[in-house]
Amino acid sequence: MAVIAVSEAVSCFLGYRLLKCDKSILEKTALVVVLLVPIFGPIFYLFLVEEVPPQNPFLRNHGPRGSYTDRMISMRADKEAADKRRSEMAADGEASGLPGDGKQG
C-alpha cells in the first residue's frame, strides 16, 4: 500500500512538471495517461520523456553520416602498424639484453 502511495506521489510531481513544459496537448495527454498507471507508470514515463537539451551548435558534427566512424576505421591500420613496430622493438630489446629489460648482464 505504501509503495502505491509513493508511486502516486511521484506521479503527481511528474504530472505537475509535465503540465508546465512546452510539449503538445496530445503528447501531454498521452503521458498523463501513462502516469495514471500505479507503480509502473512513473517508470514508463521516465523512459518515454526526453528532457535532454539539444547539443550546442558548435559541438555538432555537420559532416556526412558516419564520418566520425569512417575516420576511426581509417586510423585502425595506422594503429595496428604502430603496435606491430612497438612489439618488434620490444622483442629486439629483449634479444639484445638492453638495460631495463629485467636481465642482468
pLDDT tens digit string along 54-97? Answer: 778 777 767 677 666 666 777 778 888 889 999 988 888 766 65
Residues 12 and 6: beta-carbon distance below 8 Å: no
Quote the pLDDT of residue 26: 93
Report how many helices (DSSP H) and strands (DSSP E) the chain contains, helices first: 4, 0
Quote the pLDDT of residue 58: 78
Band of residue 33 on the pLDDT scale cut at 50, 70, 90:
very high
Tell me the C-alpha distance between 6 and 13, whole Å: 11
Question: Cell match 586510423: residue?
Answer: 75
Band of residue 25 on the pLDDT scale cut at 50, 70, 90:
very high
Helix (H) or strand (E) holding 67: helix 67-96
40 in the same domain as 8: yes
DSSP 18: H
Tell me the C-alpha distance between 39 and 41, whole Å: 6
Domain count, the chain: 2
Quote the pLDDT of residue 9: 92
Angle at 84 between CA 78 and CA 89, to 5 degrees: 125
Quote the pLDDT of residue 53: 80
Quote the pLDDT of residue 105: 44
Instruction: Answer whether residue 102 is part of any domain.
Output: no
Tell me the C-alpha distance between 81 and 36, whole Å: 59
Instruction: Answer whether residue 58 is part of any domain.
Output: no
Instruction: Answer whether residue 82 is part of any domain.
Output: yes
73 in the same domain as 44: no
Structural domain of 76: 65-96
Instruction: Answer whether residue 57 is part of any domain.
Output: no
N-term to C-term CA, the chain: 77
